Amino acid sequence: MASTYSGTTTLVNKEPDSFHFPSIYQDYPPFFTLQTTLSTRTSQLKKWSRLIQRYCKFHRLFRLVISEHLDSPLFNNRRLNKRLQYADIVTVLDWMAGMEGGGRTEWLTKAKEGVFVYWRKPEEWANLIRTWVEDTGQKGSVLTLYELVEGETTEKEEFYGMDLDVLKKGLAALAKQGRAQVFGSEGSEGVKFF
């Protein structure tokens, strides 16, 4: 990839409420072919990571199943008639899951067919929830997981509508810090905040 695209943040806007793809996605066909030179490939993987995180955040996607998104605009640029191939998507998501990629994905299964996408890591969600609990005087309270992600009091919070498995990972981080305790059986879990 040409160095003129490194660090590019120019975004293309077609519709006011549509996702803004970076210009490298819009105008640079080699972006869709993983490069062989290590430094170029690393730069490309970083750009794909940022794009995937931004796209998932915009669309509130906590899970990304590859087969369901092969033809989506995320991996398929119809204007350029270019797409990121399945094996290359796995490579990108695998890189994101590793230390170099910042642990921004986690495979759902060993088959590597889909990932959790951490546009916020579970620990970051935990801090957001902890702040909300403190700001709303909920310390010492018991809330169901449903109340946290679907309750009226959280409708304006970023964690509203969150994937329950990602929520549980965030709450596990709070439990490790001694700030929460999760209890109950599957489907009726509650959490007490300290």
For the chain, list the domains and their CATH numbers.
Answer: 15-117 (1.10.10.570), 122-193 (1.10.10.10)
Tell the burial category of 10 from Cβ atoms under 10 Å away from its Cβ (0-12, 13-18, 19+). exposed
pLDDT at residue 186 in the model: 81
Q: pTM of the prediction?
A: 0.86
Specify the pLDDT at position 1.
38
CB burial of 33-53 (b: ≥16 within 10 Å; e: otherwise) equals: ebeeeeebeebbbbbbbebbb
Q: Which residues of the chain have pLDDT under 50?
A: 1-16
pLDDT at 187: 76
Cα separation, 194 vs 174, in Å, equals 9
| Per-residue pLDDT tens over the stretch 58-106 | 999 999 999 999 999 999 999 999 999 999 999 999 999 999 999 999 9
Other beta carbons less than 10 A from residue 117's beta carbon: 23
pLDDT of residue 9: 30
Tokens representing 177?
């810090």
